[in-house]
A and B are shown apart, each in its own frame.
Chain A
């Protein structure tokens, strides 16, 4: 067996659509409409090892969902190749479906009016499992995902957090080797998010399931994924261990200044230092250590402000990711 669970080479997806041109007459618009094309995914390549936990992130419209849909065989690539567990999703979609699980955060696959047990049994049959295997697997998943207290409730009566746990559990009914999750924590509260992340880590460790996840939630990336791929405008801009992500902007330090009383004026800052937050109760500045070191900047800041407390720290992951998107958008 290849050590790679997913191999993506030069993958491109273009969407073309007809657009009405106001300068054309209606007949020309009807029979010869103007065809516009957008490149949703542009020549991306990466690979994923068995058992890895990958975050595939990017701003809205970056091409994340398009990519995940090409990986599952739902969308056909315009060019390039996808190889998942040795299969080509465009040719072997059904065969591949037995090997992978999918969760689309904004869509439900559960049977809304029936108890959760029926959804498990239903998909067990769809994945061609024997009745005995379905029963055994349900017991396992109920235990892992702690579904026991609401297994007999109709799905429509479950809370969003319970439903998402159930969605993920149902998608694992056939013990897939890879699970692809498209924004699984969307809309969940912090407790439900944490619970779902913990469960995904558990399933990854216990069953060596490869996790490939798209998300806007930095918490998902930070606590769940050991590697992050960043995509923007359909182009892959970073592929690095999540722990290295924060180091990407290591030349920037953040300094919080807490006033003795209140900050009443906000003077011009020395070269290399800029305001990030200006508030009478707190000032945050960003120091570019390529231009001025931390010690020097602290001295200059203390000359300018009367402070009670100081905190120096690196940018959080969310800020780092935002910077990466912004830098990519401005082409810097």
Chain B
């Protein structure tokens, strides 16, 4: 109960904080729309020159798949690794360690809260624009779509937080975790279907995307395809598996990390 109250307070506080900078939201919206819009323009052309169908899928499915990737990315969950690294390097970790809350619990909810306002606004705007411009595929009107989307979205958030937290916690051992962050981040982006819609992946890459935690963290991009209706139990199972494994890794690394704390002046 205490944890729920604290999590709610963190989210409320950060949404209030977001209101202090409306220009930041506008800038973020423009960046996301530009990046997503450019990719959609590119793919609309690619599909057009291939008579509208590539690998058995159409632009409509691919566009929504890419959009869902960008929607999840507006939560900026990857930033948790940088925040943890900053806490460790600046010594700010001592302030948070002296509070009666779990450092990681606090940091994870803080990260969700930091992107929540942008996520809500950008997602609502994006959905409206996409419906108006290209419509929605029939797969998104089937009964299981919304509940399974929510489920895979939640697992995706948890898995992303765990993956990037592991990267951040490495700062307790290595001075610069940026190379690790870069590798993990690109793996998530590529295998998650940010550059290339997952329906266009070659078979081997599709398998890698399916069975690695990097691709699994972005299974939300699979939900719009026809195949989701038959594979969602398997995919959510894979996600759950990686959530448990990465959660265990986070727990073990953090236990060790707590004993590695060494802050300036101490």
Contacts and interface: CB of A to CB of B under 8 A. Distances in A.
Interface of A: 15, 40, 65-66, 68-69, 72-76, 93-95, 97-98, 100, 102, 104, 106-109, 111, 113-114, 118, 121-123, 125-128, 154, 182
B24 to A, nearest CB: 11
B98 A74 contact: yes
Nearest to A127: B100
A198 B20 CA distance: 35
B94 A125 contact: no
A126 B6 contact: yes
Nearest to A15: B262
- The 7 closest A-B CB pairs, nearest first, are A97-B100, A65-B265, A65-B266, A125-B9, A102-B98, A66-B266, A74-B97
B176 to A, nearest CB: 15
Nearest to B10: A122
8 contacts: A66-B266, A72-B98, A74-B261, A94-B101, A97-B100, A108-B95, A113-B21, A122-B9
Between A102, A123, A125, the greatest number of chain B beta carbons within 10 A of the residue's beta carbon is seen for: A125
A96 B102 CA distance: 13
Contacts of B9: 121-122, 125-126
B28 interface: no
A126 B100 contact: yes
For the complex, would chain A's binding face be called helix, strand, loop or mixed by DSSP majority? mixed
Interface in B236-264: 258-259, 261-263
Given A97-B100, A122-B9, A107 B94 contact: yes
Given A75-B261, A111-B17, A114-B13, A97 B266 contact: no
Contacts of A125: 5-6, 9
B48 interface: no
Contact of A154 (B20, B261, B265): B20
B138 interface: no
A111 B13 contact: yes
A94 B100 contact: yes
B111 to A, nearest CB: 15
B233 interface: no
B92 interface: yes
B137 interface: no
B91 interface: yes
Between B6, B9, B92, B265, the greatest number of chain A beta carbons within 10 A of the residue's beta carbon is seen for: B265
Nearest to A214: B265
A182 B265 contact: yes
A126 B10 CA distance: 9
A108 B92 CA distance: 8
Between A65, A123, A182, the greatest number of chain B beta carbons within 10 A of the residue's beta carbon is seen for: A65
Given A73-B97, A182-B265, 14 more contacts: A15-B262, A40-B266, A66-B266, A68-B266, A72-B97, A74-B94, A94-B100, A94-B101, A97-B99, A107-B90, A107-B91, A111-B13, A114-B17, A118-B16
A28 B144 CA distance: 57
A154 B19 CA distance: 13
B92 A107 contact: yes
A107 B89 CA distance: 13
Contacts of A114: 13, 16-17, 20
Interface in B79-98: 90-95, 97-98
